[in-house]
Structures are given as C-alpha cells and as structure tokens.
A = this chain, B = another copy of it.
Amino acid sequence: MAPTKVLDPENINENIKNLVYAVRGELYIRASELQKEGKKIIFTNVGNPHALGQKPLTFPRQVMALCQAPFLIDDPNVDLLFPADAIARAKLYLSYTSGGLGAYSDSRGLPGIRQEVCDFLLQRDGYPSDPDLIFLTDGASKGVMQLLNIIVRDKKDGILCPIPQYPLYSATIELVGGTLVPYYLNEENNWGLDIKDLRQQVAAARNKGINVRALVFINPGNPTGQCLSESNLRDLIEFCHNENILMLADEVYQQNIYQDERPFLSAKKVLMDLGLPYSKEVELVSFHTVSKGYWGECGQRGGYFELTNIHPKAVDELYKVASISLSPNVPGQIFVGLMVNPPKPNDISYPRYLQESKSILESLRRRAHIMTDGFNSCRNITCNFTEGAMYSFPKVKLPPAAVAAAKAAGKAPDVFYCIKLLEATGISTVPGSGFGQKEGTFHLRTTILPSEEDMPEVMQMFKKFNDEFMSAYEGDLLTNNHHL
C-alpha cells in the first residue's frame, strides 16, 4: 500500500482548506462544466467586461503594442498604423524602463509610473503624494493580500469587513490566519453604512479578545453598489481614528458612478480635508486598478495602492515582501500609467478616447437601470439601485418549499436557486451566501455587464425562470398567479 501523500487532503494547510472564494466557486465550476458540454453560458459571476463584449480603449492598446514591439517605432511605416501621440507616449514609457518591458522593474514598480500616479492623485484630491508610498501591483487583489498578510499576526487579529463583502477579503483573511469581524450594511437604507452597528461589532469582538486592527470598506460597494457620502466617510475616519483602526479603502470602482448626487470622493481626500490630528494619524491604504472603470483591462493585472500615515519601517517591510516576487508585471504597470494619464484635450487621440470612454460609461448607467428595474418587476424580488460599481445584488424571497427542497438537495437555499437559474438559462451568478447576508435573507450577485443589446433578453430569461421557480414552490397561490 502506498503511504499517505504529502499533499493528502488531511495534511494540507488548514487555512487553505477552510477558505471559500465563491466568485469562482461551486457555481462557476458548474457553469464551466456546462459550457464544456456545449451550453451557452452568460458569465455574470465576475466583473470581467471584455469577456462580455466590451471593447478595450484604443489609445492604450496602441501604446502597449509599441512598447511591446519598440522596433516598430523606427519603422518608416509606423505612421500608417499608429497616431503620433501613441508613438510619443510609448517612447516616454520605454524611457521609464531599463531595458523595456522584458526587464524586472523596481519591486514597487517603475518610478516614472509611480510619479504619474502621484500627479493624478494631486489633481483628483488636491493633496500631494509621495511616489515611494505608491506600490504598483498585479491588480488590486494582490495589494490587498500583501496588506492583510502584514497586518494579521494570528487568529486573534480581527479585520472589519462589510457584510455583504467581496470574498477576496474573507478568503484572504482565512488564508493569512486572521478573523473576519463583520459589520452589516443596511439593505433597507440602500446598503448604507451604519456607524452604530460598526461600533457594536467592534465592542463585541473586543469583548471576545479579538484585536480589531483594520477596517475594509468598498466604495462604490461590491456587491452592493452603494456610494458613500462625504459625511459617511468622515464618520468612518473619525471612528477609525478614535478606535485606532487602520483603514483599507477599496476604491477600484471610483470611475463607475451611475448617479449624480454622490460623485466619488476618495478616503484620502476626506481624510486630508478633516485636517489635524486625523490627517497625520489615521493609517490609510487606498487601492485602485485598471480592471474596472471604462478600462476593464482585467487580464492585464495592473493596479496600485497608496500608503498614508504608515510607519516607515512597515513600508520597508512591505517593500521587502514585494521584492520576493521581484516585480509586478511591467505591461500592467504601463496600463496604470495610461489610466492615470489618459489623452488630454489637445492630443490627437483625445476625441476618440473621450467618445469610447463616455459611451461605455453611459451604457453602464443605462444597464444599471435596466437591471434594477428588471429585478424589481420580478415576483418575490426586491433590488436596490446600482449607484456605482458593476453589480446588482437583488434580494430573493424564497418560499418555504424552496428552502426545504434546497435542504433536501444538501444545498444552501440561495445556492440551490442560483444553480437552477444557471441550468435553466445559462446565467452564471454568485449566491449571496458567498458575500454574506443577514440570517434568513437570500440574494444573488450578477454583474451589469451583459451588453445593452443582450440585456433585455437576459432579464426576460431571468424573469421567466423566476416565475416558474416561484410557481413551482409556492403551490396553489402560484397556480392562481400564473393564470392571471
């Protein structure tokens, strides 16, 4: 008999076994299987715009092509395929590197790009930034993982996360061996942040001996789509200051805003506006990415974080850890540069850039409405408007018979519902339990990314499925409704 394997499931790192990442969990794996069998799947489980037909912006891709193939710049025919401002920009970015895109950069990223990020932050917030406190990363997720890894020492270290939350946080906290301390967003108040609940959760966690060390907030919200107001942010900062809690500001959806009352405000700006002692004392890490906005360049894996009021020795330690994997991918760094420094009004490529980015953003806004309205027209479903980000997170009131059927099938009720939806329609969503939800409530998350053209059909398929599902599990009542 062969001995037990080293990587026998009994013998692997428990943190890895325990962690759950629902966005690519059971539903995604089932969807991939069905796709292999030939079923048409609409992948709305993850915010992956290009996979659903969104076209990349042209200018950044021109610059990137030239950076990858710098010999084109010297080709006499280059002007036939590339505008002059793309050529100039490629030359600039190549001058930031030592050896082009094939050379490792500094482990925090190319200094020239980090300076562009600082210029962008100054323009956005009105406050200066230090390039040595900007770390470029392979997407924002990698940065979040680096931060949680340095903050968490053991199971007694607690990280406050909104519920519902993006499971990057719950999964990574489990991976690094910490404890997630939940605070609940208020669905009745459009997923608003409730400082009173936050205060209670911190007190309760501390009573249990948890060191509450950091707070995650996502603005605009994922999966909830809410946009925080200035006063919300101020309260949050004051709270964290009083309680000596480090703030992790997930601001990857800062360009995805679908209402005009609350434009995006960065935590950094609100913190600096508050002045002393906050502006010098509150530890803040802010994350951004090229994967969202009207860019949607997920596959390029570009992002950054900015450190504010972080102890210089901790900055050194973060630098040291980043250096183990040598450098973030350099093409992704260039995309960060392009995102923070897009074409300007007098540039040749500006009109096209403006037209492309505006049309994506305006369409997303319309789709946010179509989807919210569509869900709210469905039986037993209520849905807050997607004020920002890329998701709709409707609440599904599941009939007791459906809950019982799920139990019999050994599934959580929302998982049961989402699998039925997938099998009936090909729409691949993520059950609310993957994000956390109040006991006894059930949700699902879907992106608002199916193309505007496809959206009516997607919502119709959904409605038809939901009607039949509710009919099947609400018995007589249903039969009556059905014949109305």
Closest to A71 in B: B58
Q: Are A51 and B98 in contact (CB under 8 A)?
A: yes
Q: Which of A92-149 contact B (CB under 8 A)?
A: 97-107, 138-139, 141-142, 145, 149
Say yes or no: B299 contacts A24, CB within 8 Å.
no
- A310 proximal to B (CB < 8 A): yes
Question: What is the chain B residue whose CB lies nearest that of A212?
Answer: B6
A78 to B72 CA separation, bound complex (whole angstroms): 11
A329 is contacted by which of B19, B53, B301 (Cβ under 8 Å)? B301
Docked pose: A5 CA to B213 CA in angstroms: 10
Task: Report yes or no: B51 in contact with A103, Cβ–Cβ below 8 A.
Answer: yes
A12–B314 touching, CB < 8 Å: yes
Task: Give the docked Cα–Cα distance between A145 and B17 (Å).
Answer: 16
Residue A468 lies at the interface, judged by CB distance under 8 Å to chain B: no
Cross-chain contact A102 with B314 (CB below 8 angstroms) = no
Q: A77: which of B81, B106, B301 is its contact (CB, 8 Å)?
A: B81
Chain B residues with Cβ below 8 Å from A9 are 311, 313-314, 317
One digit per residue, 1 when the CB lies within 8 angstroms of any chain B CB and 0 when it does not, for chain A 38-65 equals 0000000010111111101010011011
Are B329 and A6 within 8 A (Cβ)? no
At the interface, yes or no: A8 with Cβ under 8 Å from chain B?
A: yes
Is residue A460 contacting chain B, with contact meaning CB distance below 8 A?
no
Instruction: For the complex, give the distance between the alpha carbons of A317 and B175 in Å.
Output: 12
User: For window 78-100 of chain A, which residues contact chain B by CB distance below 8 Å?
Assistant: 78, 80-81, 97-100
Question: Is A407 positioned at the interface, with any CB of B under 8 Å from its CB?
Answer: no
Cβ B298 vs Cβ A102 within 8 A: yes
Question: A123 CA to B105 CA in the complex, in Å?
Answer: 34
Our pick among B24, B62, B103, B176 for the contact of A326 (Cβ within 8 Å) is B24
Q: Which of A150-158, A363-371, A386-394 forms part of the interface with chain B? A: A150-158
A69 on the B face (CB < 8 A): yes
Given contacts A81-B72, A98-B51, A323-B21, contact A12 B104 (CB under 8 A): no
Within 8 A of B (CB), among A5-49: 5-9, 11-14, 16-17, 19, 21, 23-25, 32, 46, 48-49
- Residues of chain A from 166 to 196 with CB closer than 8 A to chain B in the complex: 168, 171-172, 175-176
Q: A104-B46, A150-B12, A311-B7 are in contact. Are A19 and B65 (CB under 8 A)?
A: no
Query: 16 interchain pairs (CB within 8 A)?
Result: A2-B281, A5-B311, A5-B314, A6-B213, A6-B214, A7-B310, A9-B313, A13-B150, A21-B323, A46-B326, A50-B100, A53-B99, A65-B69, A141-B324, A299-B327, A329-B331
Q: A49-B103, A61-B71 are in contact. List 14 more A-B contacts (CB 8 A).
A: A5-B311, A13-B153, A16-B150, A16-B317, A19-B324, A46-B326, A50-B100, A52-B99, A58-B71, A97-B299, A103-B299, A138-B301, A301-B328, A329-B332
Give A contacts to B, CB under 8 Å: 2-9, 11-14, 16-17, 19, 21, 23-25, 32, 46, 48-54, 56, 58, 61-62, 64-66, 68-69, 71-72, 75, 77-78, 80-81, 97-107, 138-139, 141-142, 145, 149-153, 168, 171-172, 175-176, 213-214, 244-246, 277, 281, 283, 295-301, 309-311, 313-314, 317, 320-321, 323-332
